[in-house]
Structure 1
Amino acid sequence: MSETPVAAGEADLHTHSTVSDGTQSPATLMRQAAAAGLWGIGLTDHDSTGGWAEAAAAVPETGVVLIPGMELSTREGFMSVHVLGYLIDPLDEALLAETAHIRESRLTRAEEIVRRIGRDYELSWDDVLAQTTEGATIGRPHIADALVARGHVATRSAAFAGILDPDAGYAQPHYAPDPLTGVRLIRAAGGVPVLAHPGTRGAERIMPPERLRRLVDAGLFGLEIDHPENREDAKPRLRELARRFGLAVTGSSDYHGAGKPNVLGECRTAPEVVERIIGEGRGAAPVVPEPVAR
């Protein structure tokens, strides 16, 4: 990895590849970022850094800066909470152990969901495996793609709105640590933690200030407010909380290729915030097209 660039540009800091539940390879994702005119992207596959090497190898070709990251699964009660971790040490033992536990639980959960669905619909585990790449973190999106391939639903989104909706009775949670543990793990691995899409459930379901304060005290860096799935009624409240707690505001598309309607680069993080993330990251460095001294 090369030295940190002097001045950052606009970046889409939340993207997924085939290493988790995106539909594009890491290298293809980098080429798409170049076509979108992005200065940089954050590759943040679920609970995995497995796509970093391929994405980094595409930096010279594309001219796009890679901010290596991960979307860490955490859970607060019955509610899933995701924490983005940028520039983490991919070999940190505590983080590796936790993500291995999460991925194993995701796999066991996925197998159980398929077994349940298979009682009512023609669907097998082989159908799901056909929608994944080797080493991918298997999850519900792959089950959704298998349901599409079988003709049970038209799109991945339709699967989540129907058969994979919790109210349908097939889904079940997987293991994940609590958000406080997640923030601490990321900081201990030299990373920079940001709460992912915290307003998708609307203003009434935003994390209460007293719980957010605990994350801030543990090292939370920012809130991903400019995100296509955050509800508009939640954004003013989130910006107020960011001001109150001195948190940075990030913007990202949460791009999954054909897996979601989200468009790469439709939401972006300002250069000064990207610069701060780079400045705080200690576990890994951004990958830039050419070494640039400070």
Structure 2
Amino acid sequence: MTIDLHAHSTRSDGDVSPADLVRRAAAAGLTVVALTDHDTYAGIDDAAAALPSGLTLIPGVEISCDIKVDGQMQTAHLLVYLMNRWYQPLTATLASIRQARIERAQIMVGKITDAGYPLLWADVVTIAGTSTIGKPHIAQAMVNAGILTTVAEAYTPAWLDSGSPYYVPKWQPDIQDILPLVLEARGVPVLAHPRGKRGSPLDDHHLETLARAGLAGVEVDHPEHDAAARGELRGLAAELGLIVTGSSDFHGSRKPQGLGAETTSREAYKALVAATTGAKPIMA
């Protein structure tokens, strides 16, 4: 089995449709792929309808959360697998996160426009299409309007990152408030890329605290984790009894790694599936 448990489609910030994503996953030789769009289940049914023979789809979501690190709030991402998608308290919280993204994006676009740049909210909406509007769509609209030459330029303190005059903090729930909802929805919560490039790395204390609150696993093998980080996380996961996963964090052309760039072991996958009664893997 070749298993990739973290991938995004056009329903969040990927640039490949859910249907095309599962076709690409099969072509890449995967036997299991999880669709984990940011704060939405919207692409799961489309992916399931297009599922090629021989490929299993894991319904998932990547939830944006707050976590306190060194006295400051920063974003943590919680991957959730095989949850009950119709559990209303979690569904409502995801809807609130998405609405907060839209409101934040509107304010940021307004600030850029007020500064004299030719950026239109209607253009951002068009680029987003069926996706929840966020910074990737603002960045692309800025390139299309000739404000910037590349999307990468937008992700700096001069434009859309913290420290910019156009930056607006986003509301998102505390991870300690999300974990109970995930468990009530009978999902399997796995902490995504805790030693990634953005923000301060989460330390042993954070993982210990989250494990006590019900965290089931940690994404160890991720493109942004070096060998030292992987070794430390693997050891800590063993101490805490956490499932170790690996995944590409596929976004299409928006990130360099392809589907299957990092994978999860068969044993970890079986443990993850056994840990839930919320939903079953979807097979063609």
**RMSD between superposed Cα atoms in Å:** 1.9
1:173 aligns to 2:164 (yes or no): no
Give 5+ residue unaligned stretches, structure 1. 1-8, 290-294
Task: Please report how far the alpha carbon of residue 181 of structure 1 lies from its aligned counterpart in structure 2 after TM superposition.
Answer: 1.8
Asked whether 1:67 is paired with 2:92, we answer no
CA spacing shift, 1:153–1:263, aligned 2, 3 Å:
farther
Distance in 1 of aligned mates of 2:226 and 2:169? 24
The answer on whether the counterparts of 1:75 and 1:81 sit within 8 Å (CA) in structure 2 is yes
- Give the match for residue 106 of structure 1: 101
Matches within 5 A, 1:140-179: 140-161=135-156, 163-179=159-175
Structure 2: distance between partners of 1:201 and 1:245:
24
Corresponding position of 2:212: 217
Alpha-carbon separation, structure 2, partners of 1:179 and 1:99? 13
SS in 2 for 1:131: helix
Which of 264, 275, 279 is 1:284 aligned to? 279
Pick aligned residue for 1:58 from 50, 59, 65:
50
Distance (Å, rounded) in 2 between the aligned partners of 1:233 and 1:121: 44
The CA deviation string for residues 207-251 of structure 1, in whole angstroms up to 9 with x for no partner, is 233332221122211111111123454333222321221212111
1:193-212 correspondence runs (5 A): 193-201=189-197, 205-212=200-207
Rounded to whole Å, the distance in 2 between the matches of 1:18 and 1:123 is 22
Cα distance 1:195–1:120, how it changes in 2: closer, same or farther (>3 A)?
farther
Structure number with higher relative contact order (C-alpha < 8 Å, ≥ 6 residues apart): 1
Q: How far apart are 1:156 and its partner, in Å?
A: 3.0
Matches within 5 A, 1:19-58: 19-58=11-50
Give me the TM-score of the superposition, normalised by structure 1.
0.89
- Identity rate of aligned residues, in percent? 43
Residue 292 of structure 1 is matched in structure 2 by none
Matched, 1:247 2:242: yes
In the superposition, the TM-score normalised over structure 2's length comes to 0.91
For residues 147 and 229 of structure 1, the distance between their equivalents in structure 2, rounded to whole angstroms, comes to 27
Q: Determine if contact 1:157/1:260 at 8 Å carries over to the other structure.
A: no
User: 8 Å contact 1:47–1:71 — kept in the other structure?
Assistant: yes
C-alpha distance after superposition, 1:151-208 (max 9, x if no partner): 3334433321352221223222221111122222211101000001110149x93323
In structure 1, the residue corresponding to 2:249 is in which secondary structure? coil
Please report how far the alpha carbon of residue 138 of structure 1 lies from its aligned counterpart in structure 2 after TM superposition.
Answer: 1.4
**Given the alignment, which residue of 252, 256, 259 partners 1:257?**
252
Partner deviation per Cα, 1:128-154 (whole Å, 9 max, x = no partner): 1121123x2211111122122223334
Q: Distance in 2 between matches of 1:47 and 1:63?
A: 28
Residue 76 in structure 1 maps to residue 67 in structure 2? yes
- Mapped to 2, the partners of 1:170 and 1:288 lie a distance apart of 45
Matched residue SS, 2:5 = strand
Aligned with 1:188 (options 178, 184, 190): 184
